[in-house]
Amino acid sequence: MPHTLEWSQAYTHRLSKNNARAVAARQADLSQRLAYETAAGALPFLTMSYREKLVVELPLVLPRLKICKHMLVLGIGGSALGARAIQRAFAPGQDGPEHQGPWLWIADNVCAQTFDAWLSKLNPAETVVVCISKSGGTIETLAQYFLACDWLKTAFGRNWTQRMIVITDKTKGYLREEALRHALISLEVPNCLGGRYSALSAVGLLPAAFLGIDWQSLLDGAADVARPLTQNPSNIGSHPAFALACWAHELEVHQYSQLVFFCYIPTWSAYGLWFAQLWAESLGKKSMGTMPVPATGVTDQHSVNQMFLDGPRNKGCLFLTSRVQAAGRNFGTDLPEQWAWLRGKAFGSLLEAESLGTRMALSESGVPLVHLEMHDTSPRAAGALMMLLEAATLFTGWLMDINPLDQPAVELGKRLANARLGATGYLQEEADLFAFLSAAKKEQHF
């Protein structure tokens, strides 16, 4: 059975369906653009042109992993968020009591305390390290790579290379040079596949395969959604990803500055963080874009939902549920009389009721809301959702007349950090740092 987008509460408050129809009138031009860019190989996340090679190469790596209980992933941003979302959705056991493995550890931050603890406590004989960077030059990831190499060399000597895998560009970058220099096992991040669009490549699927997750089904679900677009771009106007893009564009036009991703599939809550990077890094450009706000039901009903319901009227909402979720244990028939209405009901019935209540409350508060209802919570369903959101992000950027595939603003901070650490070739950044650090401070102590 299909998954569903429900639109009855989408065009409310300041939004107008007529304006959305005007935007949709651009679909002829955008369908031509879609046809051109897919043919040119500029949208590999959508065409999945890398899949045939991946399904051959990834299984060849897996025998190397069978002797390992732990995978330590070195990666940040798009090199980490997809893998974490997939793990928490489909291999949550490692976060529970008495788990026997395998374990996935993702070093996605510069936290010396955590990284030192992991290298001190993980057994190298049971661990494989996977270093992920599309460019091969991400400073945070390379710093971890250098330390992890020393850790492996101490344990294995010359054989350290047997426990290191890199996922990077096919031909260029420092990690590719390292792979060639040391004959490291490697998988590629295809050309034109940016990090935030790479979760359904080796970047996210090697960790998934290590955990025993059906990674082929993730790809199948994504392909189900992408196929109508790639096989016949002229049908873009009838695709749900384009409908979402038209709605999201209308939100911004009408001064809705935030897009809440409210997830009522608890095991999928980490997809909110994955979506936040996808949306923000793709669309936050030229003083435009809506700020993604991940929220988890029912947890955030008791934290930020007051702001959603009664704060500024600047929010739209993608509301994610599933028709099929675990029911859990039933309440006994001996509950106190004041709770008699719960007798015999399943614990999971609370989630359905809370979901409905919150969705209605948001709608009655004037929050434009699109309800995404997944038929099930299988890997195939997750792949479908990920492709839907990636395509919707792409089309929203096109409607905004910006490039949703680059991230120019974040490069400045990287250059300044490199200059601060003493890298050469950053004369202007060094001068800017000196001026910034020399400015008079206005301090207040507490």
Residue spans of the chain under pLDDT 70 = 19-20, 24
How far apart are alpha carbons 57 and 50 in whole angstroms? 11
Based on the residue annotation, tell me whether 134 is a catalytic residue of this protein: no
On whether residue 410 sits in a domain, the answer given is no
Residue 323: give the domain boundaries.
4-36+219-329+341-399
How far apart are alpha carbons 170 and 176 in whole angstroms? 7
Based on the residue annotation, tell me whether 121 is a catalytic residue of this protein: no
DSSP 88-153: HHH-GGGGSTT--S-EEEEE-S--HHHHHHHHHHS-GGGEEEEEEESSS--HHHHHHHHHHHHHHH
The rounded Cα 419 to chain-centroid distance in angstroms is 29
- Of 167, 109, 108, 154, the closest CA to residue 127 belongs to 154
Burial 47-75, CB ≥16 within 10 A → b, else e: bbbbbeebeebbeebeeebeebebbbbbb
- Whether residue 76 is found in the same domain as residue 20: no
- Whether residue 132 is found in the same domain as residue 269: no
On whether residue 419 sits in a domain, the answer given is no
Catalytic residue, from 302, 441, 442, 445: name it: 302
Q: What Å distances lie between residue 260 and 272, 370, 371, CA to CA?
A: 9, 10, 12
- Whether residue 135 is found in the same domain as residue 94: yes
The CATH number for 22's domain is 3.40.50.10490
The total of structural domains in the chain comes to 2
- Whether residue 263 is found in the same domain as residue 132: no
Cβ pair 185, 206 in contact under 8 A? no
- So what's the pLDDT on residue 345? 94
- So what's the pLDDT on residue 233? 96
Q: What Å distances lie between residue 315 and 13, 255, 274, 361, 402, CA to CA?
A: 11, 9, 19, 14, 22
How far apart are alpha carbons 107 and 118 in whole angstroms? 9
Which residue's structure tokens are 């603890």? 117
- Whether residue 200 is found in the same domain as residue 263: no
Give just the sign of the alpha carbon dihedral 4, 7, 9, 10: positive
DSSP state of 53: H
Which residue's structure tokens are 């569903």? 4
Catalytic residue, from 281, 285, 390, 429: name it: 281
- So what's the pLDDT on residue 410? 79
- Whether residue 79 is found in the same domain as residue 210: yes
Catalytic residue, from 153, 373, 414, 430: name it: 414
- Whether residue 210 is found in the same domain as residue 249: no
Three-state SS annotation for 146-185: HHHHHHHHHHHHHHHHHHEEEEEECCCCHHHHHHHHHCCE
Q: What is the pLDDT of residues 234-257, one digit of tens each?
A: 989 999 999 999 999 999 999 999
- So what's the pLDDT on residue 17? 73
Model pTM score? 0.95
- Whether residue 190 is found in the same domain as residue 265: no
- So what's the pLDDT on residue 20? 65
Based on the residue annotation, tell me whether 414 is a catalytic residue of this protein: yes
Give me the residues paired with residue 317 across strands.
Answer: 260, 369
- So what's the pLDDT on residue 18? 73
